[in-house]
Amino acid sequence: MTTQTVPDLAAGTVHVQGVGKSYGGRTILSDFSLTVRPGEFVALLGASGSGKTTLLRILAGLEAHDTGTVDAPAERTVVFQEPRLVASKRVGPNVILGQRSTRERRAAASAALAEVGLGGREAAWPTTLSGGEAQRVALARALVRDPRLLLLDEPFAALDALTRIRMQALVAELCHEHQPAVLLVTHDVDEAILLADRVAVLQDGKVGVELEVPFDRPRRRGVPGFGDFRRRLLHELGVEEAIGAA
């Protein structure tokens, strides 16, 4: 793995420089560069197949890149699109998967579960959870490790519309509290605007446009300028939204 982990030097800053990646002759990322500072929430917007998940997987250490450099803190965790819980473990042990089950860890798991609104559910089996609950367990599993980099791979995409709104609020709140560097990969423009400090749009394998989100928190969809900002991002993605006959 060519991902370098330089905790001291970068002090938790994610620094991706000139990264290229291709699969079977098809270029996914080329000369991709992006920086995420500690405590900063960056959304990477892109159409499906644009390579945004590939970048996240490179940052997660799940995939190697062909060219360029990647500096990311070693303390990194991921919330995937699916909960990816181990069916044969109860919720508590799932949260501390891969860690020693000491009394402190178990207490930390309980605290993390309480944070995501699942206090007291340590003994539940994953199969008995709803989709939203399972995803909240996945969030607890990512947060209990005090990550310096939290990678979110379209974590709300599989949830129903109402659960999604609640989860987005929860993620915003918890990221504000824990202050990790966050990279959210999504194709949902509204979601990017609601959650991120900065939005990077992935075009042709690199960041085409980077925009600071100019709205105060807590954010709502209806605030003045939201529609314009949204249209701007959609335009960058090559989508003009006008539905119905003129």
Partner 1 sequence: MTAGTTTSRARAEAPPVAAATAAGTVPATAAGAAGARTGATSSGRKRRSPRDVLLRASVPTAILALWFLGSTQGWIDEKQFPAPWQVADAFARLVSTGVLWENLSVSLGRVAVGFAVGGLLGLTLGVVAGLFRLGDQLLDPTLQMLRTIPFLAIAPLLILWFGIDERPKIIIIAAAALFPLYLNTHSGVRNVDRKILEAGTVFGLRGLGLVRHVILPEAVPSVLVGLRVSLSVSLLALIVAEMSNAPRGIGFLMVSAQQYFQMDVLVVCVLIYAVWGLSVDLVVRLLERILLPYKRLGRRP
Binding positions for partner 1, rule: CB under 8 A: 60-62, 77-78, 80-89, 97-99, 125-131, 141, 145, 158
Q: How far is the CB of 86 from partner 1 (least distance, A)?
A: 6
Token readout for 190 is 């509204």
Token readout for 31 is 């000369």
Q: Which one, of 48, 43, 118, lies nearest residue 85 by Cα?
A: 118
Cβ distance to partner 1 smaller for residue 104 or 204: 104
Cβ distance to partner 1 smaller for residue 23 or 214: 23
Q: How far is the CB of 70 from partner 1 (least distance, A)?
A: 16
Taking the chain, what is the end-to-end CA distance rounded to the nearest angstrom?
53
Q: How far is the CB of 87 from partner 1 (least distance, A)?
A: 6
CA distance 188 to 234: 10
Q: How far is the CB of 30 from partner 1 (least distance, A)?
A: 25
CA distance 80 to 57: 10
Cβ distance to partner 1 smaller for residue 154 or 205: 154
Cβ distance to partner 1 smaller for residue 164 or 206: 164
Are 119 and 107 a contacting pair, CB within 8 Å? no
